[in-house]
Structure 1
Amino acid sequence: MERLTRRGTMNVYREPSKEIPVAASADVIVCGGGPAGVAAAVAAARTGAGTVLLEGHGCLGGIWTSGLLSWIIDAGNKSGIMAEVIARLDRRGARLQSKGSDFTYDAEQMKLLLEEMCEEAGVTVLLHARVVDAAKDESRRLRMVITESKSGRQAWSANLFVDATGDGDLAARAGCRYELGRPGTGEAQPMSLMALVAGIRPEEVEAFTMNGVHEEPKHKLLEQMTKAGVTPSYSAPSLFRIRDGLFAIMANHEYGVSAVDASQISGATMRARKELHRLVDGLRQLGGRWAGLHIVSTANQIGVREGRRIRGLYQVTEADLKRGLKHEDAVCSVRYGIDIHSTDPSGGKGFGNDGKSSMPYDIPLRALIAADVDGLLMAGRCISGDFVAHSSYRVTGNAVTMGQAAGTAAGLAALSGTLPQQLAWQDIAHALNRLEEWK
């Protein structure tokens, strides 16, 4: 075994060099199988590109499934793959529309649906595989992604890569510059752990759910928790009806946690799970409509609102939102407003807009193309944007649309032997329009 050495105050283990087997080569490799990653993989495969999707959890869907998010925002005006997902959920009876454009869905049905979409498109899926490294050539072109899994350490080569890991893990390991949190302080939006709950009757708790026609359901639910003597760390707790007597709840904030520190995420997850049980137990003690309330399952992964924002060829900024900026190479139209969950609980435990305004705006393809590494695109909340803009485009309705654009551009570039930024925009736009045919 190599010797342990000391560097400053830290012990360092020198890992012996070794040959890593190349598991497969593909036209496009997508890292991260959440909403953005699945859309990217399906879109890339539909261009005819051989596509591999690498996911760290045991199912596809990311925050939609492993995270039990259960609530999709800013999807109502989206076409292509997002509209297809909605239509296919409806055919399964697995979606419940709210009074607005947002809706809830059955996470277990979502798992199956996303796997079916990948299978139909011809995507090769590998679960339980986490990105741990990346390799570039001398011209700064990304050539390999390295994963760890039950199969050990493996390398995967491709012509084009898409980072849909949420936290920009692939891009960071490839050497891309990035930003984290608020400028100056680095404070990031808090994390939240979701849970599925049951034992309550829909007609008796309708006034407390986000699906119904009643006003201020969050405030009413907070009043019930306060009455039970269990004040949540998030001052706007939310209850979502999924189907029949199944509900989801989001009622906690984990402040000051870094999305790129495993120890901090572990602590946040366990604290959040403990809090959710305390809140649900408290409500149950009220009796009446809450007498049978119990947790069915807490999520396998805590919901991360904010991780790395990778430097791209274009950065979406607060000024873009204020002006409602449009782009010729627009790949996503964002309707969701500024949504900054409190980064400092001493100043409040809710959410707001920091006194800033926004109008509907576009995300251009350039914001999805890495600036520092060639052959790499981003999709989802790790694209190139500032702190304020990120708080708006980070929701999953937008992630899917960004994913389909990144996957389409990656597929076309891989098949033509060029880079995404060298493609003619009309060719990308035409391919995106063709996604309508897959409904």
Structure 2
Amino acid sequence: MKAYTVPSKEITVRFTADVVVCGGGSAGVHAAVAAADEGMSVILVEQFGSLGGTAGNALVTPLMHSHIDGNPSCSYITDKLNKKMTVLDGIDASGNQFDPVVLRIASEQLCLETGVKLLYYHFISGVIKENGEIKGIITVSKSGEYVIEGKVFIDCTGDGDVSVLAGAEYTKGNPDTGKCQPISLRYTLSGVDIATFGEFIRSEISRTGVSKGASYDGKVVYAACTATDDWAVTDLFKKAITNGDLVEDDKVYWQVFKLPNRNDTLAFNNPEFFEYVDGTDSVHLTKAQTDGKAAILRQLNFYKKYMKGFDSAYISEIAPMVGIRESRHIVAEYMLTGEEMLEKKKFGDTICQNNYPVDIHGKNLKFGQKITPVDDGKPWYDIPFRSLVVKGFDNLFVAGRCLGSDFLAQSSLRIQRSVRSTGEAAGIASAIAVKQGVKAKEIDGSMVRQLMIAKGATFKE
């Protein structure tokens, strides 16, 4: 491959803070607010023009339940965020159904009110380090290239970009196939007659005698379809594929949700892609956007032709951010394994509890013969604080879906509830590191959890 030699250059330091949070997604927002709440000066660096990450910019809604009785938050900041979203009429009473646009706004309000300095439209292109300590990150923006200095850095990029630029080790993808999980491009349709669509779903259940993945209670409608042929709407997809109105991949994964505050809008968890799936490859991301838009137009025509309630429907938003389920797994002081997740392992330094199941798209895996779940009356597993401490670095944490775990464990812990908790824990830990002058790996994770609880986070005993 042809290459050029670029002359060395001097890069100006433009901003300095106690804590620099890299990435403004679910983990990043919680990390930034948690550190600011502890009195730290905080800079939050984000590549888009709004916060929320996959939950906001990739339109990933609703919030998945932890599958633990009582659904403990393991986060005090989530309560703050939900209150703001409630005022903005962007979340339902359960806290699960939410409007991604409202989440973006509420996240921004929360950060600004807490004193977090936001830097939008900044891409991180390099890291400055000395003997295992990060001194600064190099960013590129319309303003040019410059350095942001900090005492502690938190990698919430989702792909572990900062950790990798610093030289951290990582794994990526399914060890059996070498491929990452499938990716999606979400969208919303407005102008939908929800009642008519809901009654249509009821009629399909009656016509086919199949109720799987379909419901309508007179207000909230839901429907889904996957590669298996046992869903209420499978027959519709098969007809459209036979007639050339859809392609087979349109049926492999399709899901639709009602947004809580929009009476004419549906949110779709599709189209999904199974070949170009590397969220760290810009060519793959570009193809997801171009192929995704073509698929969205095809699917809109399908709804109008084969379903009811879509006569006046139109595309109201296509996610500017591709929905990435999994990419890099940064090597941390502790790597949580799938076996530990399935065995419901507990840790003294837990900062999050979760029981969300294995969720690997495009592949049906069975683990019953590999593990023996521990029946301790506590059906959940813990995420240890050590999985947030990037191995080999004194002042670098990682939070979110790219924390220290293997492929199988990550398929469960990648949900928004968990990544919020990990960001919050990393933010509190960063403040401890600054105040006490200690290295990241020297921090007692149980102390971090106790501080989370003292502020309002709930954990199961």
Task: Output the TM-score relative to the length of structure 1.
Answer: 0.89
Tell me by how many angstroms 1:215 deviates: 8.5
Partner of 2:319: 299
Matched, 1:70 2:74: no
Shift in Å at residue 314 of structure 1? 0.4
Matched letter for residue 57 of structure 1? F
Partner of 1:5: none
In 2 relative to 1, CA 362–426 (structure 1 residues): closer, same or farther, beyond 3 Å?
Answer: closer
Does the 8 Å CA contact 2:222/2:257 hold for their aligned counterparts?
A: no
Instruction: Report the more deviating stretch, 248-257 or 372-381.
Output: 248-257
The residue aligned with 2:179 is: 187
Q: Distance in 2 between matches of 1:277 and 1:240?
A: 18
Q: Secondary structure at the match of 1:36?
A: helix
Question: 1:119, CA displacement in angstroms?
Answer: 0.9
Aligned residues: 416
Runs of 5+ in structure 1 lacking a partner? 1-9, 343-350
- Kindly tell me: are residues 54 and 215 of structure 1, through their superposed partners in 2, closer, same or farther at Cα, counting changes over 3 Å? closer
1:156 deviation in Å?
0.9
Q: Please tell me whether residue 15 in structure 1 is matched to residue 6 in structure 2.
A: yes
Structure 1 residues 425 and 372, CA gap change in structure 2 (3 angstroms): closer
Question: Structure 1 211/220 Cα, relative in aligned 2: closer, same or farther at 3 Å?
Answer: closer
Asked if 1:227 corresponds to 2:244, the answer is no
Deviation at 1:299, TM superposition (A): 0.5
Q: 1:155 aligns with which of 126, 147, 151?
A: 147
Q: Find out whether 1:254 has 2:273 as its counterpart.
A: yes
Alpha carbons 1:335, 1:360 under 8 Å: kept: yes
SS at match of 1:26: strand
| Equivalent AA in structure 2 for residue 91 of structure 1 | V
Q: 1:425 to 1:259 in 2, by over 3 A?
A: closer
Structure 2 distance, partners of 1:90, 1:222, is 36
Instruction: Give the equivalent residue in structure 2 for 1:107.
Output: 100
The answer to whether the 8 A contact 1:49-1:415 is kept is no
Q: Which one of 260, 265, 278 corresponds to residue 285 of structure 2?
A: 265
Aligned AA (1:11): K
Q: Per the alignment, do residues 430 and 255 of structure 1 end up closer, same or farther by CA in structure 2, a change over 3 Å counting?
A: same
1:212, distance to aligned residue in structure 2 (A): 4.7
The question of 1:129 aligning with 2:125 is answered no
The 1:397–1:235 alpha-carbon spacing in structure 2 relative to 1, beyond 3 Å, is: same
Q: Give the CA deviation at 1:329.
A: 0.7
Q: CA deviation at 1:290?
A: 2.7
- The two structures, once aligned, show a CA RMSD in angstroms of 2.2
Give the TM-score taking structure 2 as reference length.
Answer: 0.85
- Indicate whether 1:240 and 2:232 are aligned: no
Q: Secondary structure at the match of 1:40?
A: helix
**DSSP 3-state at the match of 2:44:** strand
Which stretch shifts more, 88-97 or 298-307? 88-97
Question: Are the equivalent residues in 2 in contact too, given 1:334–1:360 (CA < 8 A)?
Answer: yes
Preserved contact between residue 194 and residue 298 of structure 1 (Cα < 8 Å): yes
Distance 1:116 1:295 in 2: 27
Displacement of 1:376 in angstroms is 0.5
Letter in structure 1 aligned against 2:254 = P
Residue 169 (str. 1) matches residue 161 (str. 2)? yes
Q: Which runs of 5+ in 2 are unaligned?
A: 202-212, 226-230, 374-378
- Between the aligned partners of 2:121 and 2:222, the Cα distance in structure 1 is 42
87, 96, 114: which is aligned to 1:91? 87
Partners of 1:375 and 1:227 lie apart in 2 by 56
The answer to which of 426-435 and 331-340 deviates more is: 426-435
Contact 1:381 1:399 in 2 (8 A): yes
Report the Cα offset of residue 210 of structure 1: 7.2
Identity of aligned residues (%): 29
Distance in 2 (CA, whole Å) between partners of 1:61 and 1:365 is: 23
Residue 293 to residue 226, structure 1, CA distance change in 2 (3 Å): farther
Deviations for 1:393-423, whole angstroms, at most 9, x for unmatched residues?
0111111111100111011111221123222
1:288 counterpart SS class: coil
Tell me which amino acid in the other structure corresponds to 1:77: P
